[in-house]
Chain A
Amino acid sequence: MMSSDDLVTLPSGEVADDFRQTRRVEVSVLPEAGDQNAGDETIRNYTINFGPQHPAAHGVLRLIMELDGEIVERVDPHVGLLHRGTEKFIEYKPYLQSIPYFDRLDYCSPMCMEHSFVLAIEKLMGLEIPPRAQYIRVLMAELTRIKNHMLNLGSHVMDVGAMTPNLWLFEIREDLMQLYERVSGARMHANYFRPGGVRQDIPPKVLSDIGEFLDNRLKLFEDAISLVADNRIFKQRNVDIAKVAREDAIAWGFSGPMIRAAGIPWDIRKSQPYEVYDRMDFEVPVGTNSDCYDRFMVRVEEVRQSWKIARQCLLEMPAGPTATADQKVFPPPRAEMKTSMEALIHHFKLFTEGFHVPAGEVYVATESPKGEFGVYLVADGTNKPYRCKIRPTAFSHLQAMDFMMKGHMLADATAVLGAMDIVFGECDR
């Protein structure tokens, strides 16, 4: 559709490109060039545009790259192309109606997004939730982590050239989607975690099917990883790419697998345990070399640990209610509403006016699959948040792209991006 006529050639020989025409990689020459046919001394840097529509950009990322030959000199990521004003919307909605917005942040790990928000509300209200609800939340958060890593590991592998593992890992992801649907009613946008507990209990048959999944599917995962983990090409593309020193990882605000790959054993589930993570038996994998390969392998090990946590949750899950009995916060069961006037009133009040959160401010961060996902919530005592600031994981990681890419080849950009695990729903909000 687009031809070279779209590019306007200026008198200076520079090619001016309209920034919206970005469906392909365009190469334009910077203006300092004099005569095109002069001697070797006029070596110029290329500035190229990567994205925003590019399969390896994992969404709508636009990178302005300055190249010296094939070596990347400078990267300027332009984000915000998926900005939907989530934080503004949340200021206009009662707390309960804001939860679905969180599913749509990191749409690869929706329940982990909800987790920070409901914990922030509960912290402000001082709300205690029953043990079964805590176990269910941890179980679902870990299944979500597996689900997220299936997508990321697979696409990282595909970005550097392998096809098969991605297809195999997607099979596991599909299984998890189906379990998601049977638990919450939706394959992706679950809206399952609620202040005070979870939306509904998981039926026994679904729990046993989750157990069956955990028993049978780890082999497929190991098979898929065995194809690439020791593969020569995969290592050539990842080992020693985008190494980050420990001090840099701290200064750039890294979290999650990115900081663990740098050798810092920092996992919020372990160091600042929430829900029942302090009862869970798992280990925090760390990298030794802090390169893209380490980030990949840290995630691989995290999947195995999550598998372990999920299994432990199933084994230890107590019986009992799955939400707080405080009907000012959590709606009464449907059956009770048929007979109790009070329950009916609670239900009506809850879904029109909502509940009020005492005034105060709180910052709650949980370990999402991609790193520290935080919610800074300012409540003014009404039924709507006064301000809800979302701390995305991608913001600090993507910002570090510039120094991580310096001196690397253009083709390494996809490996670096894949190992960062960035989703733009969350980055741009």
Chain B
Amino acid sequence: MASSAPRTLSNDGVIEAAQAALGDLVVDTKDHVGEITLTVRREGVAEVCRLLRDTPGLEYQQLMEIAGVDYPDRPERFEVNYHLLSLTRNRRIRVKVTTDERTPVPTVTTLWPVAGWLEREVFDLFGVTFAGNADLRRILTDYGFEGHPLRKDFPLTGYVEMRYSETEKRVVYEPVELAQDFRAFDFLTTWNGPEYRLPGDEKAEPEAPGAYSPAPATGAAPKVEAAAGPGKRENKPYTSENEDRKTAGAKEARAEARKPNEAKQAEVGGVKTDMPEPTPDSPNVTRDSGEAQ
């Protein structure tokens, strides 16, 4: 292998041996970058692990890790991956089962006591339940936490934040308040940049062929690929027959201009004081106050 990652003994023949030992419990096998993955039936996972541990020739004695993965688009959205290690055969193997929010996975704590915390972690972070695990409490998140943070539909910022309240003399929980909008940079489209709609942008719309210059005389309009944002673009070109957009935005601009000053101030967020506006002849501001002192 080209990379300098840890080199185990060759996995040749492991898939065949595992299939012979496990029979129809195995749904699928895969050998990718030198790692064997066995996808097995969910209800048989404990049996599979027991066979992998106890069958001579396979002998995966240690359970090193249980990792959950969330694929929200799949009918059974969660994958649970068991990583086993053989100390005597010097090999690793991955056992994979799938499940959804409701269906529990049989526990393997009966085979390895270490599975207790590993299953607790998958339960805590993904909400996968394990039938037979007697101690399925949360482990990594806070006492009284709600939700399962590693699901893909759980926001990175979370829902609650906590701080120490000096007035209440205790830790208080509050809904998350972001000082600035959460920015999800889509680094995949570096060259196109993100899509913002600023006032006046409609003037820079790509023009359709046949329209007035500066559109190119021939060929299609320059294509701008961008994710469909909230402000959807109109497909109808702006021509003398279609003048809808001649006045686009004018209404909003007029409304903006006619807003009372108080409303604008409230938007900007300035602090209103009782102090009068200083004028040249107001007593507080004298032109020569600096010289007088």
Contacts and interface: CB of A to CB of B under 8 A. Distances in A.
Interface of A: 19-20, 79-80, 83, 85, 87-89, 92, 94, 119-120, 122-129, 134, 250-253, 255, 264, 266, 268, 271-276, 278, 349, 352-354, 360-366, 372, 374, 376, 378, 382-384, 386-387, 389, 391, 395-396, 399-400, 403, 428-429
Given A89-B156, A360-B32, A374-B65, 14 more contacts: A92-B184, A119-B5, A251-B112, A253-B64, A278-B7, A363-B65, A364-B6, A365-B64, A376-B65, A389-B68, A389-B81, A391-B67, A396-B114, A400-B114
Given A79-B139, A376-B67, A362 B4 contact: no
A89 B138 CA distance: 20
B114 A253 contact: yes
B138 to A, nearest CB: 8
Interface stretch (B140-148, B200-208, B231-239, B275-283): B140-148
Contacts of B114: 251-253, 396, 399-400
A127 B64 contact: no
A94 B33 contact: no
Given A87-B150, A396-B114, A399-B114, A272 B81 contact: no
Nearest to B70: A387
A126 B33 contact: yes
A181 B4 CA distance: 26
Contacts of A123: 1, 3, 5, 33
B98 interface: no
B4 A128 contact: yes
Contacts of A80: 138-142
B69 to A, nearest CB: 5
Interface string B50-89: 0000000000011111011110000000000101000100
Given A126-B3, A253-B114, A273-B7, A353 B64 contact: no
A399 B121 CA distance: 12
Contacts of B8: 272
A178 B266 CA distance: 54
A88 B150 CA distance: 6
Nearest to A248: B113
Given A126-B33, A361-B32, A362-B35, A252 B3 contact: no
A276 to B, nearest CB: 8
A365 to B, nearest CB: 7
Contacts of A382: 188
B190 to A, nearest CB: 5
A252 B113 contact: yes
Contacts of A384: 187
B41 interface: no
Nearest to A403: B113
B190 A352 contact: yes
16 contacts: A79-B140, A85-B156, A92-B184, A253-B112, A264-B87, A274-B4, A352-B190, A361-B81, A365-B64, A366-B6, A372-B64, A376-B81, A391-B65, A391-B67, A399-B113, A428-B140
Contacts of A275: 4
Interface residues of B, number: 51
Contacts, number: 151
B49 interface: no
Contacts of A403: 113
Contacts of B2: 126-128
B171 interface: yes
Contacts of B118: 395
Contacts of B154: 88
Contacts of A122: 3-5
Most A CB contacts (10 A, CB to CB) among B67, B81, B149 go to B67
B141 A274 contact: no
A372 B182 CA distance: 36
Contacts of A120: 5
Contact of A274 (B6, B138, B143, B190): B6
A103 B91 CA distance: 28
B123 to A, nearest CB: 13
B92 interface: yes
Contacts of B112: 251-253
A395 B69 contact: no
A268 B5 CA distance: 11
A224 to B, nearest CB: 33
Contact of A85 (B63, B113, B149): B149
Given A252-B113, A376-B67, A363 B3 contact: no
B69 A378 contact: yes
Contacts of B7: 272-274, 278
A19 B33 CA distance: 48
A323 B112 CA distance: 41
B33 A124 contact: yes
Interface in B104-122: 112-114, 116-118, 121
B140 A429 contact: yes
B156 A127 contact: no
Nearest to A125: B3
Contacts of B125: 87
A336 B48 CA distance: 55
B6 A365 contact: yes
Contacts of B149: 85, 88
B141 A128 contact: no
A363 B83 contact: yes
Contacts of A79: 139-140
A19 B143 contact: yes
A10 to B, nearest CB: 20
Most A CB contacts (10 A, CB to CB) among B3, B113, B121, B140 go to B3
A131 to B, nearest CB: 10
Contacts of A360: 32-33
A134 B35 CA distance: 23
Contacts of A251: 112-114
Contact of A88 (B5, B69, B83, B156): B156
Given A122-B5, A126-B3, A353-B187, A361 B64 contact: no
B46 to A, nearest CB: 15
B129 interface: no
Contacts of B251: none
A253 B63 contact: yes
A386 to B, nearest CB: 8
A119 B187 contact: no
A372 B37 CA distance: 20
B187 A94 contact: yes
